[in-house]
Chain A
Amino acid sequence: MIARLLTPHSLRTLLPAVSLAALLAAIFYLQPRTMSYFGLNLLLNLAVPIALATVAQMFILCVNDLDLSLGAFISLTACITATWLHDTPLLGALALAGCVLAYAGLGALIHLRNLPSIVVTLGMSFVWMGIAVLILPTPGGKAPDWIRSLMTLKPALIPFPIIALVVLGGIVQIALMRSAPGVVLRGAGGNPQSVARAGWSILRVKMIMFGLAGLFGVLAGMALVGLTTSADANIALRYTLLSIAGVILGGGEFTGGRISPIGAVIGAVTLALAGSFLSFLRLNPDWQIGAQGAILILVLALRVIINRTAAKS
């Protein structure tokens, strides 16, 4: 059993979890007070929107595309949440549903015209940003109460962010990796031609995957506003790169439908914690961003070492 756990293959699968555990251990060591209900709550609540964003990016990567507009999109949905959804819930809900549909439409456009997703989403990032600026020209707005109370929920024993992250990872893992329809969605990333020949519509797959990305993008925006209580048009711009890094950190790859939902959530949490870790280190704040890069490089370097050992054996 132990020998089975130590094969390179399982090590590679476990690496994201192990790196997260190591990071957590380091944080607990530096700042034992985080090892409490409230400490964990504080430490992890910002990881929730990042994890949602990462899962959204994962859907896109799964069908061999890349979304460079995700951060702008989440900023937009955050702005809608903090304004329309708060003031006129029906209009807000419709607008958010429209956002999801727009993403599905984007998937259709990319597929039908065989366009490079990098560029289309690059262009769309301007569009999302523009709409966000129109809706909320200056930072402000207010989170709807129900989202606020959901995000600040204090369940007994286990802090809310942990529950949310586990549920998120679990649901997406089951839907994408264990369900029969999930196989088709992933297969379309691995060999679209053969999936099409087997009678499935790639157009529909792309629309579903982009639609799901839109849905989780909307959720990320809502969760973010629930935490920050207000929004601005630039609130989530850095999520674009964070989400890509999170998927890769979690063991996903850019092409071929090779993704791992649980890994993606773990990757997102790792990146979110990296920031806290550095502040506990009392590192010069100038190096905050730099150290995030360093952690990314470190984990990926570990993956390479494991892969090399795998290749040798």
Chain B
Amino acid sequence: MTDRSAIVRLNGIGKSFGAVQALRDVTFHVAPGECVGLVGHNGAGKSTLMNILSGVLSPDTGELLFGDQDLAARYSVAAAKQNGLRCVYQELSLCPNLSVAENARITHPTIRGIGWRRKAATLITTWLDRIFPGHGIGPGDIVGELSIARRQMVEIARAFSATQTPVRLVILDEPTSSLDKASADQLLSFVGRFTETGGSVILISHMLGEILDSADRIVVMRDGGVVAEDATAAFDRARLVREMGSVLAEDAATPTAQARRQTDRVIVLPGENGIPLEVFKGEIVGLAGIGGQGQTDALLTLFAAANGTRNHAEITTEAAFVAGDRQTDGVFPGWSIRRNISIASIRQMVQHWLIDARKELGLAQDWQTRIGIRTEDLSNPILSLSGGNQQKVLFARALGSPAPVVLMDDPMRGVDIGTKQDVYAILKDEAAQGRSFVWYTTEMDELKHCDFVYVFRGGQVVSGLPRHQVTEANILRASFDAAAAA
């Protein structure tokens, strides 16, 4: 706290959006050569704080100090860049129609004139090589044709790459959310090397393990303020969770459907040369493996089969879908919370050709209380909710539908622990009543809630693990084994 050499120092920052106070009196600094871990629930104010730091939003009150200069009044994205600050946003900010090198050019105005393409290509390739060795991305590749993990790599490499102004501080907002384990490790080890050479990083992540492993200092935010700040050594997982304000519920390992894996089969997805994916009534089935190994495709195939538009899979009942990518797959941005909930059940609400408004409201109210959507009025627009609450709406949509099978596409991405615990409880409850769940998740912890786990690799199921065999070691082995052999 004493060093005056902090790259940037925020003093008493406040920011409101209408009646909502997003930040109150936040004091925060980053020293050179430091990795600051920033944790907090959705809506705790992390993103707002980072948007202020990167010049996207301007604070209502407070100081923004670079050295001794208070820039709060005339701060901007450009000023942030000039001071060596870069940001990797949670939602990707690449232009999908441009090549990798051309995207580098967008953030580097000084790359121009004759030979700019070569310069841009060299720059981005150098940094990709440095951070993600063996990335397999060419500078001429069109970003829109890359996988989401590779796009994230380009985004990160672009943020670290420097031309004229040196990069002094990089904000990484959930950088590993779409990376597989190996690339995430590459990134975190690079962060270590970067800070050793005097660079600084702010790491925002819901993966507490990543924060505890990589950060030098951790800042915990809650309700728009900083509630704890200390060297990493002073924290452990339990303290972090405590400071964030939620209670880590112990996972009660209730034995459930194990015995029932013989009758009432509701889904069979035959594997071309692998193991068929089977789901039984009342079961929570997890899909694991490295990200992007065909899990989402399997869910989409099942969904299409349930709707009768494709028949690669056998599925005896209707299915509902919980999207992980809220903006593209889930939310209807112009609708109220109520309409967003009711849409999957709308066919059941038709009476005499028309939708029964009372039934619709009833369903929405029912699920508002069951899943705890924080709003005063269900006719508020869905976008008035925080990300976590929007995700709850998507759960309510699927769970409120009559479909006996619910397909979930990594729905907890970027959701806070409190929400997660609420949802886990409801899933178990619903499963006990005979609903089946197919749950793709990238978080190892969540697989412990599953009765049976299928591990995917290369678009195929390569392993099926009953509950008692679901361990990190087993899953990692199945995810990587053959890859090493091949």
Task: Using CB atoms and an 8 Å cutoff, list the residues of chain A in contact with chain B.
Answer: 178, 180-181, 183-184, 186-187, 189-191, 193-195, 197-200, 256-258
Contact = CB atoms under 8 A, between A and B. Distances in A.
B105 A190 contact: no
A143 B107 CA distance: 47
B117 interface: yes
Nearest to B112: A180
Interface centre among B56, B98, B109, B144 (most CB of A within 10 A): B98
Nearest to B55: A197
A241 to B, nearest CB: 24
B163 to A, nearest CB: 13
B95 A186 contact: yes
A195 B95 contact: yes
Nearest to A256: B97
A256 B98 CA distance: 10
A195 B107 CA distance: 8
Contacts of A200: 106, 109
17 contacts: A183-B98, A184-B106, A186-B95, A186-B97, A186-B102, A187-B103, A187-B106, A190-B96, A190-B144, A191-B95, A193-B93, A198-B77, A198-B107, A199-B109, A200-B106, A256-B97, A257-B95
B98 A186 contact: yes
B289 to A, nearest CB: 23
A195 B109 CA distance: 11
B113 interface: yes
B116 interface: yes
Interface of B: 56, 77-78, 81, 93-98, 102-103, 105-107, 109, 111-113, 116-117, 144
B100 to A, nearest CB: 12
Which 6 pairs from chain A and chain B are nearest by CB?
A190-B95, A194-B93, A190-B97, A180-B112, A187-B95, A257-B97
A11 to B, nearest CB: 15
A184 to B, nearest CB: 6
Contacts of B78: 199
A191 B105 contact: no
A258 B81 CA distance: 28
A191 B96 contact: yes
A187 B98 CA distance: 7
A197 B93 contact: yes
Nearest to A195: B106
Contacts of B116: 180
Contacts of B112: 180-181
Contacts, number: 60
B106 A256 contact: no
Contact of A183 (B56, B81, B102): B102
Nearest to A182: B102
Chain A, interface SS category: helix
Contact of B113 (A180, A187, A198, A258): A180
Contacts of B105: 180, 183-184
B117 A178 contact: yes
A191 B93 CA distance: 7
A46 B94 CA distance: 40
A194 B103 CA distance: 10
A199 B98 contact: no
Given A184-B105, A190-B144, 19 more contacts: A180-B111, A180-B112, A181-B112, A183-B98, A183-B102, A187-B95, A187-B97, A187-B103, A187-B106, A189-B95, A195-B95, A197-B77, A198-B77, A198-B106, A198-B107, A199-B81, A256-B97, A257-B98, A258-B97
Contact of B96 (A193, A195, A197, A256): A256
A175 to B, nearest CB: 13
B389 to A, nearest CB: 23
Contacts of A184: 105-106
Contacts of A258: 97
A190 B111 contact: no
A197 B93 CA distance: 9
A189 B113 CA distance: 22
B370 to A, nearest CB: 36
Contacts of B102: 183, 186-187
B458 to A, nearest CB: 17
Given A183-B102, A187-B98, A199 B93 contact: no
A200 B144 CA distance: 21
B98 A190 contact: yes
Contact of B94 (A189, A194, A256, A257): A194
Contacts of B98: 183, 186-187, 190, 257
Interface centre among B81, B105, B111, B117 (most CB of A within 10 A): B105
A191 B94 contact: yes
A27 B183 CA distance: 56
Contacts of B56: 197
B294 to A, nearest CB: 16
A199 B97 contact: no
Contacts of B81: 199
A199 B56 CA distance: 11
A173 to B, nearest CB: 14
Nearest to A259: B97
A189 B103 CA distance: 13
B51 to A, nearest CB: 10
A190 B107 CA distance: 14
B106 A183 contact: yes
Contacts of B77: 197-199
A181 B94 CA distance: 17
A184 B95 CA distance: 10
A107 B473 CA distance: 58
A194 B94 CA distance: 7
A123 B97 CA distance: 30
Contacts of A186: 95, 97-98, 102
Contacts of B111: 180
A258 B102 CA distance: 14
A189 B105 CA distance: 15
